[in-house]
């Protein structure tokens, strides 16, 4: 299936939108479950995440199948995922919200970074968290967790629809991440959501200035006709 285009203009707009604004836009379109639950940003550098999803699915480990020898196989799905996710995309990993083991560590994350991948989101743990935290790269996980992935997870599929943090993620969906967390935008909605969110961000920039200046919520947030008129004047004045 070919995906709708994801152009630079849309990427640029989304890079300046908060996940708060984006979840509101999706809520207005009837989508109430778009924010990945139970993950947090591990890195402070690298800016917001804006990238199409490439996915990896795990099921529970089984002792006879999941021994350290499996990594000798270069086709092992976890390792293949790292080598296969296209530059500019984000690797999104389904760990069934089980953070008792890592879904990666500093070596794998370094490889992703070197390959130009846009970031990583997992609802499992990550090991070597202090090293990863220094990387210039948006990385989100359930928290630090040292044990080897094989103790809990068996990587099984690449780039299929998955669950991540109780949200459906389809390959090619646009993920946006900031300090609050990560929102999943269905691919076909990315352009219209980006446009409307950018407009909402501008309006809220104006509104927060009004609130700081002492205006009350009624009439200001949401704006009434008078506030909207002042917004239009403000918008022109700042060009």
Exposed (0-12), middle (13-18) or buried (19+): which is 213, by Cβ within 10 Å? Answer: exposed
Which of 9/143 has CB closer to a copy of itself?
143
Number of residues that bind a copy of itself (CB under 8 A): 80
Report the site for a copy of itself in 35-54 (rule: CB under 8 A).
35, 37, 40
User: Is 5 in contact with 188 (CB distance < 8 Å)?
Assistant: no
Which of 48/239 has CB closer to a copy of itself?
48
Exposed (0-12), middle (13-18) or buried (19+): which is 65, by Cβ within 10 Å? Answer: exposed
Per-residue binding string, a copy of itself, 202-231, x by CB under 8 A, is --x--xx--xx-x-xxxx-xx---------
Nearest approach in angstroms of CB 212 to a copy of itself is 6
Which of 9/235 has CB closer to a copy of itself?
235
Q: Write out the DSSP string of 134-145.
A: TSBS-EEESEE-
The b-or-e profile of 215-229 (16+ CB within 10 A means b, else e) is beeeebbebeeebee
Q: Stretches 2-10, 79-87, 190-198, 228-236: which one binds a copy of itself (CB under 8 A)?
A: 79-87
SS3 58: strand
Of 9, 12, 28, 86, the one binding a copy of itself by CB under 8 A: 28
Nearest approach in angstroms of CB 113 to a copy of itself is 9
């Amino acid at each position: 299936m070919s995906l709708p285009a994801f152009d630079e203009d849309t990427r640029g707009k989304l890079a300046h939108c908060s996940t708060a604004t984006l979840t509101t836009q999706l809520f207005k379109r009837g989508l109430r479950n778009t924010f990945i639950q139970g993950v947090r940003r591990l890195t402070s550098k690298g800016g917001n995440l804006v990238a199409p999803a490439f996915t990896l699915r795990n099921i529970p480990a089984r002792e006879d199948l999941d021994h350290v020898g499996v990594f000798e196989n270069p086709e092992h799905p976890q390792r293949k995922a790292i080598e296969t996710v296209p530059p500019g995309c984000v690797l999104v990993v389904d760990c069934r919200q089980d953070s008792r083991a890592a879904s990666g560590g500093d070596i794998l994350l370094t490889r992703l970074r070197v390959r130009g991948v846009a970031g990583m989101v997992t609802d499992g743990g990550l090991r070597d968290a202090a090293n990863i935290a220094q990387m210039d790269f948006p990385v989100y996980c359930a928290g630090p967790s040292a044990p080897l992935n094989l103790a809990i997870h068996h990587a099984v599929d690449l780039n299929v629809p998955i669950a991540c943090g109780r949200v459906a993620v389809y390959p090619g969906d646009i993920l946006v991440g900031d300090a609050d967390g990560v929102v999943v935008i269905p691919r076909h909605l990315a352009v219209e959501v980006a446009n409307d969110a950018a407009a909402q961000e501008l309006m809220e920039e104006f509104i927060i200035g009004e609130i700081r200046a002492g205006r009350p919520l009624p009439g200001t947030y949401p704006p009434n006709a008078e506030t909207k008129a002042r917004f239009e004047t403000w918008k022109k004045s700042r060009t």
